[in-house]
């Protein structure tokens, strides 16, 4: 076993014990390694760069240790060896196949929190997503209706997708909402989303202006070849249903993963009987869709608040009692158009700043009082956050129209 001599300047400072090492050894010639290593460093400073204070008193020590004891390889890897290490562990871990996406059961349409200036609050966002991961949620929709992608420009939208991939892409599926009623925009946004590493795209049909059956088919065909795609059928928002026969046609495409369906149990049953993966888009129906009508799972709003209970509802078999227990919360969340209820609830739970981008504004005081009762009835321990739920005053909320 090879030996080397380390010269260690040791002393306890505010940054820990700093060691200066110099190691020489012979292996096909003489090589010299010199590096600074931190032998002991407080956890709170683990990710900070700290200099050694000038007043630190250090004593010089000499110690003989083996190369393995200081973590230095016996030989230096060649450029070719390093290149092979780039080949793919990271890429494989950070991507998902269509078949893997088809197996997801609980996907959260994640909320986007804001600072008082109206910009993204990424620190709060990361905690929201981390809570989802800890409660075994398998994927998130970034910048969907719940995440208020409709209130973002494309630069911010893609930036949020990229941030989500960078921070959480190895731990759960990142689905970017890159849909648009303009095919040109949908193409460019989807290209950008896959460029920054999202695992799949969510696409609604062209809204407001609508289009024909053939136009809808060509619109989806323009984006479905780039990577895994989940379609989203929500006629209450788009003003137009995605016909079942069109979905069946698209299901033959290589990158078609399935559909988020808001048209109820009959449509869920129709697709499940044809081996087309379908996620309920309605929290109040997702339990029966999963256990009675053959749906894969749910793309959920309520899982922002109680992901653990939603995981139990979707993974542990039919549970009518839990489903009934959650209905008052679900009805409360959707008494006004989503995400108004969710934004209000998260603020009352103290996990986001009470900031609303217009045209959304908080629920009234009576509704806020009702939410406190619902939380206490279900149990505060099941909800996100650690603070007591409270009835917020009107003046505590901030609404911003320009950001």
Q: How far apart are CA 385 and CA 171, in angstroms?
A: 21
Contact of 111 with 343, CB cutoff 8 Å: yes
- Region label for 45, one of left (φ > 0), alpha (ψ between -120 and 50) or beta (otherwise): alpha
Taking the CA atoms of the chain, what radius of gyration do you get in angstroms? 26
Q: Decide the pairing of beta strands 3-10 and 12-13.
A: unpaired
Rounded CA separation 390/384 (Å): 14
Q: Which of 204, 132, 206 is nearest to 172 (CA)?
A: 132
Give yes or no for a contact between 309 and 289, defined as CB atoms under 8 angstroms apart: no
The closest of 18, 72, 7 to 45, measured between CA atoms, is 18
Q: The tokens 């966002």 sit on which residue?
A: 125
DSSP-assigned states of every residue in 141-164:
EESSTTTTGGGS-HHHHHHHHHHH
Residue 304 vs residues 92, 128, 188, 320: alpha-carbon distances, Å: 28, 8, 29, 21
Strand partners, 355: 398
16-26 β-sheet, strand order: 12-13, 16-26, 30-40
Please pick, among 260, 269, 373, 387, the residue that the annotation labels catalytic. Answer: 260
Q: Which helix (H) or strand (E) holds 184?
A: helix 183-195
For residue 34, with 0-12 CB atoms within 10 Å meaning exposed, 13-18 middle and 19 or more buried, which class applies?
exposed
| Short-list 109, 124, 110, CA closest to 355 | 124
126, 112 Cβ separation under 8 angstroms: no
**Active-site hit among 232, 293, 360, 403:** 232
Residues 130 and 147: their CA atoms lie apart, in Å, by 16
| 232 labelled catalytic | yes
The structure tokens listed for 349 are 């739970």
On the CB side of 398, CA atoms within 13 Å amount to 14
Cite the active site residues. 232, 260
């Amino acid at each position: 076993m090879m030996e080397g001599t380390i010269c260690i300047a040791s002393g306890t400072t505010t940054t820990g014990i700093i060691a200066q090492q110099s190691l020489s050894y012979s292996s096909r010639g003489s090589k010299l390694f010199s590096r600074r290593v931190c032998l002991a460093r407080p956890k709170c400073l683990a990710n900070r760069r700290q200099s050694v204070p000038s007043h630190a008193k250090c004593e010089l020590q000499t110690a003989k240790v083996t190369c393995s004891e200081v973590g230095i390889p016996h030989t230096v890897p060649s450029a070719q060896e390093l290149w092979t290490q780039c080949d793919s562990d990271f890429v494989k871990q950070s991507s998902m196949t269509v078949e893997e996406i088809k197996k997801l059961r609980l996907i959260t349409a994640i909320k986007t929190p804001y600072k008082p200036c109206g910009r993204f609050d990424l620190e709060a966002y990361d905690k929201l997503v981390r809570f989802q991961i800890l409660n075994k949620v398998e994927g998130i929709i970034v910048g969907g209706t719940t995440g208020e992608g409709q209130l973002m420009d494309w630069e911010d939208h893609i930036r949020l997708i990229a941030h989500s991939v960078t921070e959480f892409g190895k731990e759960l599926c990142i689905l970017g909402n890159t849909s648009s009623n303009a095919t040109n925009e949908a193409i460019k946004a989807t290209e950008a989303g896959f460029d920054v590493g999202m695992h799949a795209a969510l696409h609604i049909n062209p809204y407001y202006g609508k289009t024909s059956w053939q136009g809808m088919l060509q619109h989806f065909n323009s984006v479905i070849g780039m990577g895994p795609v989940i379609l989203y059928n929500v006629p209450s928002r788009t003003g137009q249903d995605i016909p079942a026969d069109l979905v069946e046609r698209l299901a033959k495409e290589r990158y078609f993963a399935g559909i988020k369906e808001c048209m109820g149990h009959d449509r869920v049953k129709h697709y499940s009987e044809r081996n087309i993966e379908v996620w309920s888009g309605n929290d109040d129906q997702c339990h029966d869709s999963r256990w009675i009508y053959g749906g894969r799972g749910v793309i959920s709003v309520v899982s922002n608040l109680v992901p653990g209970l939603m995981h139990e509802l979707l993974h542990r078999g039919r549970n009518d009692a839990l489903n009934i227990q959650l209905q008052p919360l679900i009805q409360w969340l959707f008494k006004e158009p989503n995400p108004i209820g969710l934004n209000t609830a998260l603020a009352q739970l103290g996990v986001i700043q009470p900031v609303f981008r217009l045209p959304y504004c908080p629920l009234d005081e009576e509704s806020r009082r009702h939410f406190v009762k619902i939380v206490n009835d279900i149990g505060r321990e099941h909800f996100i956050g650690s603070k007591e739920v409270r009835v917020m005053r009107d003046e505590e909320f901030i609404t911003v129209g320009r950001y």
